[in-house]
Structure 1
Amino acid sequence: MDRDPPPPAAGAGIRLRVRMSARRIDEPHRAASPLELLFDLTFVIAVAAVTARFAHDIAEGRAADGIVPFLQVFFAVWWAWMNFTWFASSYDTDDVAYRLLTMVQMAGVLVLAAGVPAAVDHDDYRGVTFGYLIMRIGLGAQWLRAGIEDPAGRRTAFRYAAGISLLQVGWLLRLLFAEIGVLPSSALVPVFAGLVLLELAVPPWAERAAPTAWHPHHIAERYGLFTIILLGESVLAATRGVEGALEETEVGGPFLLIAVSGLVVLFALWWLYFLAPAGDGLRDRRHRSYLWGYGHYGIFTSLAALGAGLEVAVEQTGHGVAASPAAICYAVGIPLSVFLCLLWLVHASVVAEPLAHPAAVAGCVTAILLLPLGASRLGVAAVIAAFAAICVLLTGITIAARRGRNRYLGYGRGSAEMGEHT
């Protein structure tokens, strides 16, 4: 099939219009574009807002009440990023129209971020829904353009456009019925869950017409970049805790121990995540991309929640918080355990061998979940330090096991050598 040439490299100028057609799935040297990197920066604001509100709930001893709003709002953030990322991997033309429609989606993300406090604190989803509407207008226009200009992918593109448009109507009706009292508050979460399931069903339904030409290594890189953003948000959240603690007290032993241990935990998680690049696995097992891609919702959510927990853990060294030591430690330990379990499961879906031995992961997760039971006697700082030691141990075990293999997890020699150097 004839295709227009790929977009020019950064700095080589921009074309006013490029016929939108599917890019090659084996396009060499495919990497995230500067526009994609700029798009990701808007999500920094949204994730920071979600994490800050959840940290407040944890500190006030209301983590159980805040978890559902946190998961709901984070789904909106993650799903908006997902939709753009997979579309761009298939149809990035980088012409004027494409850039402007991406800017529209970025504006929607900023509106969504502004609506996070009201959504989390008062179940007021008007700002979040309106921001989502703006994003859907931009994305729907992109899919319509793809359907018009790319005959080979027309049915798939129009299915995407129809699916996201109909579901956006569903989100607006949910908001409207809640505002006028037709939808009781007890039904809001079930209706939300139903719409989420329909959202998740749109890509498999649309791709039944014809699969889109997403690039496996490009997708793997994009997910890696978002993982780094979330790790950075955890650092930012911990920094907010440091600021709050320093306002009340001088630097002490527990403060330093938690701060250093938190950094070690985040560094170990980064090391584990990038130890096995997923690009080759996605190339060889494209049929498992849904499990891999959707599974990252839990990975991303756990990283955001981990940042909130670390913020409170650091902050409590400076002044009292309503949450108990055990609750604070579980606010760190539960997201950490979820991340480790899901990282193993998600990687196992696309690689020949799992990232780490399941017994090692299970043992570390068990220890992490048991340690907070002794937080009242050991102290929060000691428990967080133990979390860090466990993460370091698991990272060391995983590296040692991988170095003993001739081929790592079904990847090629080049990927194995890169992983070894990490």
Structure 2
Amino acid sequence: MASPLELLFDLTFVVAVAQLVVELAHGIEGGHGLEEIGPFLMVFFAIWWAWMNFTWFASAYDTNDVPYRLLTMLQMGGVLVLAAGVPGAFAEQDFRAITVGYLIMRIGLVAQWLRAGFEHPASRATAWRYAAGVSLVQIGWLARLALPADLGVALFVVLAALDLAVPVWAERTGATFWHPHHISERYGLFTIILLGESVLAATAGVQDALGEAGVSGDLVLVSAASLVTLFALWWLYFLEPAGEGLADKRSRSYLWGYGHYFVFASLAALGAGLEVAVAEAGHHLDVAPVALGYAVAIPVGVFLVLLWAVHAVLVSRSQIRPVVILPTAGLVLLVPLLAAAVGVTVVVVIVAALCVFVVTVTLADRARQPIGAQ
């Protein structure tokens, strides 16, 4: 089970993701949502990868003693510094604060790996390879700040790929003994955090709308549809716990774990989309309705497809059927084309109805299966 320290650690990510969602929502409301996709994906990678590194390390080496707790607190401080730098990354492409926050987190993580190597000789080579790999890539992130700005995106892609390669390289000398059910639980908890950010973002949209024009039918309808959408996505995610699959196919944990980047990013982006949709229902925004519709539909469509994909690598027969979820995702991505004619509120309602359809069909199919096959 997740420890109280892990739950406290996650609270810092609530702050970081909230900042990210706010900035993306402001970009969409300003009519330049496409321009914000790059900064959004880059900042979210930093948030996600920091959470990933802590989570998988804690699953294998959580001693919960004083040094471990103090190093965890250091990493929490790094997350808060990163969160403070989110507005600058969006407004001015200034990644200095985010890089400094990342550095603070890496110092704590490297210290943890070095300690694991000293105290657990059987996995010393792996632990020290982790420490070396993380340190070298971090030097690259710091060097990126001094290089020309027009190389920023290309360097980010290279450094992100190197970060992702560190675990693969480090564990060639021996795999760390992480706990599959604990990992599954931790991913589920982060999913709930991201869904909670969507609830918060939609609530912020309602507050703004009420301040502008008061209660309206569209506001009530889009708010209800937003809640239904979030609830349906929550239901789908937890229909198929991944613990057993991770235990049976540990070699596929990279595909499952790394694939969650897009699952998690889509949920974060959905929060921004719902906030903007609610704001549009309360007071008209000077943004094309189709663009506002896609701010909701694209995250939902990506979530549906990737949710099926990450589970498909672990189980031979997923509860979430591709024959249902893939066509539904396609329909979700077509619905915003109706926005100019029917309005953004109707688009959000239809998207919610399609999510409910997937849940209903999946539950009905599951009920028809023999008990042992579920």
Matched, 1:51 2:21: yes
Partners of 1:199 and 1:303 in 2: CA distance = 23
Fraction of identical pairs, as percent: 60
User: CA-to-partner distance for each residue in 1:78-124, whole Å, 9 max, x for gaps?
Assistant: 00000000000000000000000000000000000000000111000
Unpaired runs of at least 5, structure 2: none
Instruction: Report the Cα distance in structure 1 between the residues aligned to 2:217 and 2:172, rounded to whole angstroms.
Output: 58
Partner SS for 1:147:
helix
CA distance in structure 1 between the partners assigned to 2:319 and 2:214 by the alignment: 42
Specify the structure having the higher radius of gyration (Cα).
1
Structure 1 counterpart SS, 2:173: coil
Aligned with residue 227 of structure 1, among 181, 191, 204: 191
Whether 2:347 is the aligned partner of 1:380: answer: no
Instruction: Indicate the residue corresponding to 2:64 in structure 1.
Output: 94
Counterparts of 2:320 and 2:100, CA distance in 1: 42
User: Structure 1: how far apart are the matches of 2:372 and 2:176?
Assistant: 29
1:363 pairs with 2:327: yes
Distance in structure 1 (CA, Å) of the matches to 2:121 and 2:319:
40
What is the letter of the counterpart of residue 224 of structure 2? V
CA distance in 2, matches of 1:320, 1:388: 21
User: Aligned in 2, Cα 1:257/1:408: closer, same or farther, shift over 3 Å?
Assistant: farther
Aligned residue for 1:317, secondary structure, equals helix
- Equivalent of 1:285 in 249, 254, 271: 249
Taking the aligned partners of 1:78 and 1:322, their CA distance within structure 2 comes to 32
Equivalences for 1:21-420 in 2 at 5 Å?
31-177=1-147, 183=148, 185-407=149-371, 416=374
SS in 1 for 2:240: coil
Q: Give distance in 2, aligned partners of 1:218 and 1:192.
A: 31
TM-score by length of 2: 0.99
The answer to whether the Cα contact below 8 Å between 1:302 and 1:336 also exists between their aligned partners in 2 is yes
| Secondary structure of 2:212 counterpart | coil
Give the conservation status (yes or no) of the 8 Å contact 1:86–1:214: yes
Q: Please report how far the alpha carbon of residue 318 of structure 1 lies from its aligned counterpart in structure 2 after TM superposition.
A: 2.4
- Range with greater deviation from structure 2 (227-236 or 395-404): 395-404
Q: Secondary structure at the match of 2:198?
A: helix
Give the number of equivalent residue pairs. Answer: 374
Contact 2:216 2:282 in 1 (8 A): no
Amino acid at match of 2:102: Y
Residue 10 (structure 1) aligns with: none
CA–CA separation in structure 2 for the residues paired with 1:81 and 1:283? 21
CA contact (8 A) 1:302 1:338 kept: yes
Residue 25 of structure 1 corresponds to none
CA offset at residue 243 of structure 1?
1.1
**Cα offsets for 1:24-47 (capped at 9, x unmatched):** xxxxxxx00000000001000000
Compute the displacement of 1:370 (Å).
1.1
Q: Please list every run of 5 or more consecutive structure 1 residues that lacks an aligned counterpart in the other structure.
A: 1-30, 178-182, 410-415, 417-422
Give a deviation string over 1:303-327, Cα, whole Å, max 9, x none. 0000100000001122232321110
TM-score with structure 1 length normalisation? 0.87
Q: Which amino acid aligns with 2:215?
A: V
Task: Give the CA RMSD over aligned residues.
Answer: 0.9
Q: 1:300-352: per-residue Cα shift (whole Å, max 9, x none)?
A: 00000001000000011222323211100100000100000000000111112
After TM superposition, the runs of 4+ consecutive aligned structure 1 residues lying more than 6 A away are none
Letter in 2 for 1:136: R
The answer (yes or no) to whether the contact 1:233–1:304 under 8 Å persists in 2 is yes
